[in-house]
Each structure stands twice: as structure tokens, then as C-alpha cells.
Amino acid sequence: MSSYVSATDADRREMLEAIGVSSIEELFADIPAALRLDRNRPLSGGRAEQEVYDELRALAARNTSTEDELSFLGAGMYDHYVPALIDSIIERSEFLTPYTPYQPEISQGGLQAMFEYQTAICELTGLPISNASVYEGPSAVAAAGYVAKLAHGRERFIVSRGVHPHSRETLKTLAHGYGIEVVEVPLSDGLTELPELDEGVSAVVVQQPNFLGAVEDLEKLAGAAKEVGALTICACDPLPLALLKTPGECGVDIVVGEGQTLGNRLDFGGPSFGFFAASQALMRLMPGRIAGETRDVDGRRGFVLTLQTREQHIRRERATSNICTAQALNALAGVIYLSWLGRRGIVELAELMVQRTAYARERLQALDGVTALHHQPVEIDRLAEVLGAAVAAERSPVGARA
């Protein structure tokens, strides 16, 4: 084992110069002085554990309990009801404390949970392949862009302004690293308006529903991309997929999204998990890992890690992702939540969301000073159009598997 060698003064100067600041203090200039650590402040004497506990409890009491206030932050992360069932399962030691399941013979429970999660994501998205989760929603969008780059090596992404700003920023950051230009296109009355595409387009990136809450015409957008051989990447809120025609049915190649709304609390903005599903043709380019079902030598059902393309598992130059955190515990909470809702419960929840959104818009428009709201797509008289034939046919978008 090599010994640890700390950074020298010359190293620090070189790093500071590279990021464009003159001193370490300048890095923290945006943090109020009262909140910075004063390294010269003398420490008081030690205190008993009980005294420390009492003081910390008094400090904590100054915070208003999240139970007593409402959060309207939104934008993809929501303070919503999480049934107690979820904590009671994910806090079991076999889920809470195990490491990556390298040894399938002692990891069958964890591997089966991944497999069931993948099954639920496939049913929600209408695509045949799901990985066992990724870090969170924005990095899932960026990872999908890298898959498109690997698929055909073209030089340009067309990204709708209806995609979450954080996802667009993350995609731009990573795309710069692998040499892809990101071109943003505007919305027209709340919906994505694609320009004329050419064969230099690697992927069209959209969101469903988009950042303004409008339901995009995915079939039209995916059709335009397919005409020039580009992939369609769609970032989705998972709950409206219970009502909408699945992205897979609309011709979308990659579906990603933020899973926080599936049984995960807000918890100061994280952690959560990202989901990632794709067409069969892109399976070997997907990031992360995929749990598969198999049979042992005695014919018994079992589970294994089928594909592992993370840098943690294979050579760096062959990896499709260098983010080794899969957020498996958060993904487990997601599949428990979906199983708790059941095939009909998730549809009823999504219908309730549509109705309450319509009510909120109605009340907002009645306020003085509110002059314009995008008309897409939540008026009750358009609900049948939004729901589509899938609900009429009683399509079951997701359900627990025994």
C-alpha cells in the first residue's frame, strides 16, 4: 500500500489557478462569515454526554417540524405521503446494510428486489430493458445522452426547453466532456417545437409531462427523430405514466426519470434514485447493472447480475458509466411503493393528480394579476384525450410480482 502524500503548496496554487480563484478563502466567499468555521477560536472544556445531548436536542427543537409546514418547491422533488410500510421493509438489515451483490449465492433477496424493480419500470415505461437504478434524474438524462453517443457517434443533441433545467445543465456538462454539441429548442404554447432535423442529430431529448406540466406529443417527436436516424430520449415523471400512453408505445428509445415521487421522502433534497429503461438494441450500452433471472443446476429459480457496465466492475475504457452509486435502497422503496399502490391504485392516484392540477389552475386564474397559463393539458374537458385508449382498455401499468 502506498503512503498518503498530501497536496503541496505548489499543488494547491495549480488547482486554484485551474478553477480561476486566487485563494482557498475565495472558494468560500459566498458563505456568510458567521457560518464559516473559525479555526483560531479556542475550544471550551469537555462536557458530559448527557449535557451534549440536551444541548443538541434544544438546538433541534428550534427547527420547525416538516410535519407542520407545507412545501411548494416542486420542480420534480415533492414532500408527499410515504406509507410506514416502506420504512419497515427497507430498514431490515438484509436490505439496509449489505454491500454490492457480487456473490449471488448469498445475495438472492437483494438481486430479486432489483429484478422486481426492473420489471415495474419496464411496465411503466413500455420498454423491454431496465437497469437496477442510477444516481438520480438529471444524471440519468446525461447518461442517456452518452448511450446515444455510443450508439452512432453523431455530434449534436436537440434538447427541448421543456426538459428540467437541472437535467439540461447536467447533460451540457457531460456532453462537453465527450464532445457533443447541445442545442436547446423553444416551446410553443407550452409544447416542444422541433426544428428541421438532419443526420447530424444524435438524439432528441424531451420530457413527459414537460417542466411546465404540458403533455407532449411523443409519437410526433419520436417520429421526427426516427426519420433522420436519431434516438429519442424522454425524461418522465413516473406517476403520470399510469395514465398516459407509454413512451415505449410512442417510439421512444430511452426513458429516464427521477424516482423521488415513488416512496422516497424529500429529506432536504435527497437521496433519491434515477430510473433508466431502453430498447433491446441499446441493452449493452446502458449504464449501471442489470439483474437477471436464471435457473440453477437443480432447476430452481435464481437471480444474478447479468450485465455490469459500471467503471467499478470493468475496465474504464469499456465502462458506460463512472457513477458507481446505484441507489438500490431508494429503488427498493420505489418498487415497494408501486406494489403498495397496486395496479389500480396508481391509476387512481394519477387521476387525482390531474383533477387537483385542474382545480389549482382554476383557482389561480381567478386571482387578480394572473393573466396567462399555458392551456396544455390538464383541463377536465380534455382528460379523456390525455388518458388515451390505454385506460379505456384497463391497461395495468404496474403491479407486484410474487
The answer as to whether 391 is a domain residue is no
8 pLDDT higher than 70 = yes
pLDDT at 313: 61
Q: How confident is the model at residue 364 (pLDDT cuts 50, 70, 90)?
A: confident
The backbone torsions φ and ψ at residue 211, rounded to the nearest 5 degrees and listed phi first, read: -60, -25
Q: Is 153 left (phi over 0), alpha (psi -120 to 50) or beta?
A: left
What SS3 class is residue 188? strand
pLDDT at 373: 67
Q: How confident is the model at residue 363 (pLDDT cuts 50, 70, 90)?
A: confident
The answer as to whether 369 is a domain residue is no
**Domains held by the chain: number:** 1
The answer as to whether 288 is a domain residue is yes
pLDDT at 389: 40
Taking only the tens place, the pLDDT of each residue in 154-175 is 999 999 999 999 999 999 999 9
- Closest to 146 (Cα-Cα) out of 310, 273, 315, 290: 310
Q: How confident is the model at residue 3 (pLDDT cuts 50, 70, 90)?
A: low
The CATH number for 169's domain is: 3.40.640.10
pLDDT at 207: 96
Domain that holds residue 125: 92-334
The answer as to whether 42 is a domain residue is no
Query: Whole-number mean pLDDT of the chain?
Result: 84
The answer as to whether 20 is a domain residue is no
392 pLDDT higher than 70 = no
115 pLDDT higher than 60 = yes
Averaged pLDDT for residues 361-390: 63
CB neighbours of residue 294 within 10 Å: 11
Weakest-pLDDT range from 126-130, 210-214, 223-227, 315-319: 315-319
Q: How far apart are CA 143 and CA 205, in angstroms?
A: 12
